[in-house]
Amino acid sequence: MDILRFITAGSVDDGKSTLIGRLLYDSKNILIDQLEALEKQSKNKNDNGIDLAILTDGLRAEREQGITIDVAYRYFSTPKRKFIIADAPGHIQYTRNMITGASNSQLIIILIDARQGVIEQTRRHSIIASLLKMKNVVVAINKMDLVDYSEEVFNTIKEQYNEVAEKLGLENIHYFPISAFYGDNIVDPSSKMDWYKGTTLLDFLENVEVNEDVNLENGRFQVQYVIRPQTEELHDYRGYAGQIISGVYKKGDKITILPQNIETTISKIETGGREVDEVFAQQPAVLHIEDDIDISRGDFLVKTNSLPKVENEVEAIVCWLDKKELNEGAKYFLQHKSKIVKAVIKEIEYRIDVNTLEKIPVQESIRLNEVVKVRIKTASPLVYDSFEENTSTGNAILVDETGNSTVGAVMIV
């Protein structure tokens, strides 16, 4: 059974937490003791006598204020698929949390209040979805019960969002008229919107294709661990363990070790404790090579016929996640998969307005939640593809040298 990771995003009070609570409740993924606790804590009760939003609001401040602050992760399953949900906060000051949750998601659900239509926060979250190259965007037009389940309202908002999606280059947009509070078109079809002929939201989530974005063309494998037992039984054993990031690897393939730029051949492939002839993207594997080459954690074994870039200087879009401001000349660790290198911000080229995508000259320090284009210089060569070509090898994080906290989300361009 496969897993779908998705994130919900929207403005404050658009009903994100209620939607997730409804998915869990109507799909019978809430335990009896959880229901009893919900009934005691509920303030804004629905027809079932519970407030579904507090299922995801885990922090005390969230429950007390009725808002979402941190990204809340919830897990549920149906007979068809398992789900990991990230509930992103709606407030502007928590935009960084939304970016964190979206970076690991295969699909985004953007909620829109049917009474408000497309607003600034809708555009902001859509821009972040476009920056992160989200493959599937679900637009859930919520609170249809408060506009008398109007088809005209639904179509108007659909037209508004189509303009946003076209400007941002978003594809695979799917629209659902819903009421999270009453459960219309979420798990069960609504009898109050007979004009809507589409599927329910859960039915869509169970069947949407999510493996089409797996890159099977460009062979990328980064070493996470060098296996060298040096025992009597396995005296000459040397394997390189990691995950196939993209592409297909076969026994006998010509590969290049990077950044050393040395060519060799795959002599053996193991996965799951047994020898196999080939492995695919997203599979864990142990690769063996014919030649004795000095290979360390963080090095890449790539297919010789499709080489990535190897450079000490890269251009990147950075979403700044730290309260401490970003300045030119600042030094950080850059973590690219399992490789960590020292890095310096050589130049901040411009800031991106997350409401308009306008490029704004930088005249002062970069603050929390701002998105900028920068040039980063690394102490040792970086093996990468652009984020647009291969999201897995085109992303990285900036880490504070002293506190080891993540301060920036990096998308290499």
CATH class label, 309-412: mainly beta
Q: Can you give the pTM of this predicted structure?
A: 0.79
- What is the H or E stretch that residue 409 is in? strand 406-412
Question: Are the beta carbons of 300 and 258 closer than 8 angstroms?
Answer: yes
Structural fold of domain 220-303: Elongation Factor Tu (Ef-tu); domain 3 (2.40.30)
The per-residue pLDDT string of the chain (413 residues; one tens digit each, 9 = 90 and over) reads 688 999 988 877 777 878 888 888 888 776 555 555 555 555 554 555 466 766 655 433 433 444 444 566 788 899 999 999 887 765 565 666 677 778 778 899 999 999 999 988 888 888 888 888 888 999 999 999 999 999 999 999 999 999 999 988 898 999 999 999 899 999 999 999 999 999 999 999 999 987 656 788 899 999 999 999 877 777 789 999 999 999 999 999 999 999 999 999 999 999 988 999 999 998 999 999 999 999 999 999 999 999 999 999 999 999 898 889 999 999 999 999 999 999 999 999 999 887 677 899 998 899 988 889 999 999 999 999 999 888 889 999 999 999 898 899 999 99
C-beta neighbour count of 324 within 10 angstroms = 14
> Is domain 3-207 in CATH 3.40.50.2300, yes or no?
no
Cα separation of 86 and 6, whole Å? 6
C-beta neighbour count of 356 within 10 angstroms = 11
pLDDT at 60: 38
pLDDT at 209: 87
**Six token digits for residue 254:** 């010509």
Say if 3-207 and 220-303 have the same CATH topology.
no
Q: So where are the chain's domains?
A: 3-207, 220-303, 309-412
State the amino acid at position 189 in one-letter form: P
Q: Alpha-carbon torsion 33, 35, 36, 42, what sign? A: positive
Cα separation of 8 and 22, whole Å? 13
pLDDT at 215: 81
pLDDT at 267: 96
Cα separation of 10 and 224, whole Å? 37
